[in-house]
Structure 1
Amino acid sequence: MQISETKAIVTGGASGLGAAVARALCAEEAAVTILDRDTDQGMALASEIGAGFQPVDVTEESSVEQAIGEAAAQMGGITACINCAGVVIAERTLGRNGPHALETFRRTVEVNLIGSFNVLRLAAEEMARNAPDGDGCRGVIVNTASVAAFDGQKGQAAYAASKGGIAAMTLPLARDLASQNIRVMAIAPGVFRTPMLESLGQEVMDGLAADVTAPQRLGEPQEFAALVLHILGNCYLNGEVIRLDGALRMR
């Protein structure tokens, strides 16, 4: 897939990892539509980088159908779907105030896992209409997992379950969509410098960075975006979860 010919939707594209992906794609002259709940921030970024914007709630089928339909109409199709929308909570299974709230567990899984699947299944329907490119590919889906899928910390039961689901469905999705020549990959990032992480303060960020093997620092969103672009361009990458974490192993 030639990046300059890519027609991409990026969920969670208004900030953090998603924004970095949208910026990187636009810098390579790809057509991009940002999908996000934050209309103000999403529209501002879209205007800045020359992308489109569609408001969306990834958990709502009708919302995603409308956003993908509008994006496909504006870009003349969809060839890439990058799912970065997500939420994170910290809550122990049994804490001082009692058991883990069922609603927060449900919401985390609904946004991170079900939301990603909701978007990718409808994006795949659009991709299946594409003519194959030079490699015979009609589209590429990149989901965002997390190292928490493999070594989640205490208080991360909900988050790890949602990201573990992303990792676990990668190969079955690739197999399901092989007949349509649509590739499916996932990235499992470690600790990255995003607005959500920065809100925790410098002391917390320094502590997280200290656990990274090398380079001993937080990941930069641009490094995540660079891997996304490599996945899009490397037609032999399929059905795999790639850790992007500086050899971090959480404990």
Structure 2
Amino acid sequence: MDIKGVSAIVTGGASGIGAAVARMLAARGAKVVVADLQEEKGNALAKEIGGAYCKVDVTNTQDIINATEMAKSMGPVRVLVNSAGIGWAQRTVGKDGTYESAANLDAFKKVIAINLVGSFDCIRIVGTAMSTTEPLANGERGAIVNIASVAAYDGQIGQASYSASKGGVVGMTLPIARDLSAIGVRVNTVAPGLIDTPIYGQ
């Protein structure tokens, strides 16, 4: 797909893989919306690449809609990259045998909410915008790429929530891809290995 002049949304776009993707898309002519909670970094990157910054918490549907509307004002929405994510090590059972020392369930739910549910919410909202975008000559309307992780396939001790969330992203990709193929939107997921990004304590 020729992305020159189209708008692209990159969640988690202010740092790490998301920032690298935002720069690459801009270098190829896309108008990028950096969708992230990190205002200072997000604004700086948007200025650097000639894009726009939108403060987005991917667990907040209205934030996602705001970013989508911003992208629509910049050009036809044809690209979404879901790169927003969190993760931290947490043992399932504590060392002292008390229920209180077991894994924090709220922390587990937060990782699932951001990495998995947030990705799906972005897909359904941005996908809706793509469905109303004029198709290209080949019938294609857009492309969605999710950033999962090798942990989806080979999680380590302490990665239960992270692996579950990324495994969920991998698992939902094919049914969503089959679903959105009817409107000319491609959906793919990549599963990177270890990369020096803030999630690993950069």
Give the TM-score band, short-chain normalised: over 0.9
Residue 23 in structure 1 maps to residue 1 in structure 2 = no
8 Å contact from structure 2 (residues 151, 162) kept in 1: yes
Amino acid at match of 1:68: T
Name the counterpart of 1:246. none
CA drift at 1:6: 3.3
Structure 2 equivalent of residue 85 of structure 1: 84
Which residue of 108, 113, 133 corresponds with 1:110?
A: 113
Report the alpha carbon displacement of residue 77 of structure 1 after superposing the two structures with TM.
2.7
Matches within 5 A, 1:4-19: 4-19=4-19
Judge conservation of contact 1:54–1:71 (CA < 8 Å) in 2. no
Q: What corresponds to 1:174 in structure 2?
A: 177
Contact conserved, 2:33 with 2:70, CA < 8 A, in 1?
Answer: no
Aligned to 1:96, the other structure's residue is in SS state coil
Q: Distance in 2 between matches of 1:121 and 1:87?
A: 21
- How many angstroms does 1:92 deviate by? 1.1
Query: Aligned runs of 1:5-154 on 2, under 5 Å?
Result: 5-73=5-73, 75-96=74-95, 98-154=101-157
Q: CA deviation at 1:169?
A: 0.3
RMSD over equivalenced CA pairs, Å: 1.2
Instruction: Give 1:130 shift.
Output: 1.3
Deviations 1:119-158 (A, max 9, x none): 1110000000112113211011100111100110010000
TM-score, normalised via structure 1 length: 0.76
1:80–1:141 contact (8 Å) kept in structure 2: yes
Corresponding letter in the other structure for 1:53: Y
Q: State the identity as a percent.
A: 46
- Counterpart AA for 2:188: M
Could you list the structure 1 runs, at least 4 aligned residues long, displaced by more than 6 angstroms after superposition. Answer: none
Q: How far apart are the structure 1 equivalents of 2:141 and 2:173?
A: 17
Instruction: State the alpha-carbon separation in 2 of the partners of residues 154 and 20 from structure 1.
Output: 29
**Shift of residue 99 of structure 1?**
1.3
